[in-house]
């Protein structure tokens, strides 16, 4: 009996099969192309207890447990850096001789945690134990989140120098136009750089505040005093921020040349209708014209090591589309690193539209991975993963299933450490690798263990072959018995992620 399908049905089946094959190939491509170098981070905001601690005044042990849980979640997502807000509003999440303990930490401004501990030291240690960079996030000029409430002691900057303070939009801000105020903020930040083993200083987008229609920022007195020689107050304001950024970079590098300096500006530098160098967007406010942040100047002059613009909009947005802004920023990196801030928070509570599925965020991650010169991103922010019902965390885990090192910043250091010398012992529990590092500078090192099985070609560019990254000098491969032959290579990485050449090859086989 001959059975023939109608021609139209055959065509539809062929197309359906082709589509399925294409989707499978695309999935394999997306998940197989994980790069070995990619900055993967998330913000942990402390202002108003957005991300951590869950509320003010918790016992120290509960604060620590919550922070560890946050880090463990980010480690699961494949992150290799964390950006933690340690100075939300001229206060401190660390013992400071300049500013009081934050009320967001202890419940009362100026009161230390109980039982006492140093939260910043603890957080840095926990991040480094997970091979994650710790980027110390400062809000430079915010003095009070509520200008009508000032619980600070009389020695606090807002009371000792009320002439530095401008009330705007319900908040109190230190005036960037006063040289002494800028110098004060630099001293606060440098105190942390000198005393703590941070990997980076990170500033957010608040220099001058976002404009409020019809309300002028009250800096006339400072402008009359310091604005001589400028054709406009806008130019003077931009110069104030430029002086601050340049001076802070100089101070950081003079004390610890390995500490990175990054800034996360608003997502639009300038619209092309005002400047042909700007992006073809229609942003309502911009860095250059409203926040007085000339980010491109900072990049061109090498004053910052990475820029992390906040691109919290979707593909196809009618004013500020992601597919326009991401390549625009990447094309203006000026030999520095350009990463991208992604708005995970947009998915919280979304029941329809672009953010009601995992599609948009994963699309953005793929664009960054496959199109950016030095791929990297930060997710805003970590507590949103507690609230999103969609399986976005699972999707990110799969996307980042192999280890990635942060991109190397060659202008800071390009000298790789020497490769270690490896030996092994094979036993019933697996293959125990041990190595002797060659470390004449006694610098902090990490070690990556690569495993190639069953006569695979040794290729250190394959991130999925990294089975361990740690600061220890041994590794037990409990899974070695699953393969007929294993070849191991160990490399050393310094604190700026310069990687050594391959160690001696070690091969084991099952008889």
Helix (H) or strand (E) holding 329: helix 322-330
CA 495 to chain centre: 16
Mean pLDDT of 69-89: 98
Q: Specify the pLDDT at position 177.
A: 98
Distance CA 187, CA 232 (A): 29
pLDDT higher than threshold 80 for residue 481: yes
pLDDT higher than threshold 80 for residue 26: no
pLDDT higher than threshold 70 for residue 487: yes
What φ, ψ does residue 369 adopt, rounded to 5°?
A: -65, -40
- DSSP lists the bridge partners of residue 261 as 201
pLDDT higher than threshold 70 for residue 196: yes
Q: Residue 123 contacts by C-beta under 8 Å, 6 or more apart in sequence?
A: 67, 84, 134
Under the banding of pLDDT at 50, 70 and 90, the label for residue 510 is confident
pLDDT digits (tens, 9 = 90+) for 225-251: 999 999 999 999 999 999 999 999 999
Helix (H) or strand (E) holding 306: strand 306-307
pLDDT higher than threshold 50 for residue 56: yes
Tell me if residue 213 falls in helix, strand or coil: coil
Tell me if residue 497 falls in helix, strand or coil: coil
pLDDT digits (tens, 9 = 90+) for 145-186: 999 999 999 999 999 999 999 999 999 999 999 999 999 999
Q: Specify the pLDDT at position 427.
A: 86
Q: Specify the pLDDT at position 165.
A: 98
pLDDT higher than threshold 70 for residue 328: yes
pLDDT digits (tens, 9 = 90+) for 385-431: 999 999 999 999 999 999 999 999 999 999 999 999 999 998 889 99
The sign one gets for the Cα dihedral 346, 352, 354, 358 is positive
Mean pLDDT of 303-307: 98
Cα dihedral: 469, 470, 476, 482 (round 10) = -10
Enter the tokens of residue 343. Answer: 């708005």
Could you tell me which of 214, 232, 238, 333 has the C-alpha nearest to residue 290? 238
Could you tell me which of 115, 24, 112 has the C-alpha nearest to residue 62? 115
What φ, ψ does residue 199 adopt, rounded to 5°?
A: -95, -25
Q: Read out DSSP for 72-123?
A: HHHHHTT-SEEEEEEESSS-BSS--SSSPBPHHHHSSTTPPPSS---HHHHH
Tell me if residue 434 falls in helix, strand or coil: strand
| % pLDDT > 70, the chain | 93
End-to-end Cα, the chain, rounded Å? 55
Enter the tokens of residue 331. Answer: 């094309």
Please say whether the beta carbons of 296 and 332 come within 8 A.
Answer: yes
Mean pLDDT estimate for the chain: 94
Under the banding of pLDDT at 50, 70 and 90, the label for residue 13 is low
Distance CA 267, CA 282 (A): 12
Q: Specify the pLDDT at position 259.
A: 98
Q: Specify the pLDDT at position 428.
A: 87
Q: Specify the pLDDT at position 71.
A: 98
Q: Global pTM? A: 0.93
pLDDT digits (tens, 9 = 90+) for 461-470: 999 999 999 9
Distance CA 101, CA 152 (A): 10
Question: How many Cβ atoms are within 10 Å of 461's Cβ, its own excluded?
Answer: 8
pLDDT higher than threshold 80 for residue 499: yes
Q: Specify the pLDDT at position 134.
A: 98
pLDDT higher than threshold 50 for residue 299: yes
Could you tell me which of 122, 151, 136, 146 has the C-alpha nearest to residue 86? 136
Under the banding of pLDDT at 50, 70 and 90, the label for residue 28 is very low
Q: Specify the pLDDT at position 34.
A: 86
Please say whether the beta carbons of 222 and 175 come within 8 A.
Answer: yes
273-283: b (≥16 Cβ within 10 Å) or e? eeeeebbebeb
Mean pLDDT of 8-21: 47
Could you tell me which of 66, 126, 136 has the C-alpha nearest to residue 96? 136
Distance CA 1, CA 302 (A): 78
pLDDT higher than threshold 60 for residue 194: yes
Could you tell me which of 29, 134, 36 has the C-alpha nearest to residue 376? 36
pLDDT higher than threshold 80 for residue 33: no
- DSSP lists the bridge partners of residue 269 as none
């Amino acid at each position: 009996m001959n059975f023939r399908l109608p021609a139209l049905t055959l065509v539809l089946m062929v197309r359906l099969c082709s589509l399925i094959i294409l989707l499978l190939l695309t999935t394999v491509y997306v998940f197989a192309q994980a790069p070995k170098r990619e900055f993967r981070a998330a913000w942990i905001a402390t202002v108003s207890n957005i991300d951590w601690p869950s509320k003010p005044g918790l016992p120290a042990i509960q604060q620590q447990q919550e922070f560890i849980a946050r880090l463990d979640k980010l480690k699961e997502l494949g992150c290799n850096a964390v950006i933690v807000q340690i100075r939300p509003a001229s206060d401190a999440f660390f013992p400071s001789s300049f500013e009081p303990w934050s009320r967001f930490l202890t419940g009362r401004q100026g009161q230390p945690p109980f039982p006492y501990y140093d939260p910043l030291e603890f957080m840095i240690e926990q991040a480094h134990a997970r091979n994650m960079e710790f980027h110390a996030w400062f809000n430079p000029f915010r003095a009070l989140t509520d200008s009508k409430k000032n619980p600070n002691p009389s020695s606090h900057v807002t009371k000792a120098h009320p002439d530095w303070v401008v009330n705007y939009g319900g908040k109190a801000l230190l005036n960037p136009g006063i040289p002494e105020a800028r110098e004060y903020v630099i001293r606060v930040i440098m105190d942390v750089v000198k005393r703590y083993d941070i990997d980076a200083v990170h500033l957010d987008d608040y220099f001058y505040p976002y404009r409020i229609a019809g309300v002028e920022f009250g800096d006339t007195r400072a402008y009359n005093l310091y604005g001589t020689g400028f054709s406009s107050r806008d130019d003077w304001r931009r110069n104030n921020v430029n002086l601050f950024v340049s001076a802070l970079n100089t101070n950081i590098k003079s004390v610890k040349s390995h500490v990175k300096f990054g800034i996360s500006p608003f997502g639009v530098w300038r619209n092309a209708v005002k400047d042909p160098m700007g992006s073809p967007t229609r942003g309502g406010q911009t860095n250059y014209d409203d926040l007085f942040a000339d980010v491109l100047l900072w990049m061109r002059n090498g004053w910052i090591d990475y820029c992390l613009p906040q691109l919290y909009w979707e593909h196809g947005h009618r004013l500020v589309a992601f597919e326009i802004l991401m390549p625009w920023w990447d094309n203006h990196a000026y030999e520095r690193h350009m990463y991208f801030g992604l708005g995970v928070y947009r998915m919280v509570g979304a029941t329809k539209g672009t953010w009601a599925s995992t599609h948009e965020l994963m699309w953005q991650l793929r664009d960054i991975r496959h199109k950016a010169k030095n791929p990297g991103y930060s997710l805003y922010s970590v507590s949103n993963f507690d609230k999103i019902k969609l399986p976005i965390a699972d999707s990110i885990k799969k996307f980042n299933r192999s280890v990635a090192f942060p991109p190397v910043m060659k202008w800071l250091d390009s000298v790789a450490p020497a490769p270690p010398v490896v030996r092994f012992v094979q036993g019933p529990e697996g293959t125990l690798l041990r190595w002797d590092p060659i470390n004449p500078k006694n610098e902090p090192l990490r070690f990556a263990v690569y495993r190639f099985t069953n006569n695979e070609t040794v290729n250190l560019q394959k991130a999925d072959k990294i089975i361990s990254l740690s600061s220890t000098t041994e590794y037990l491969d409990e899974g070695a018995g699953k393969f007929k032959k294993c070849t191991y290579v160990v490399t050393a990485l310094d604190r700026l992620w310069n990687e050594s050449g391959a160690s001696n090859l070690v091969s084991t086989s099952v008889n």
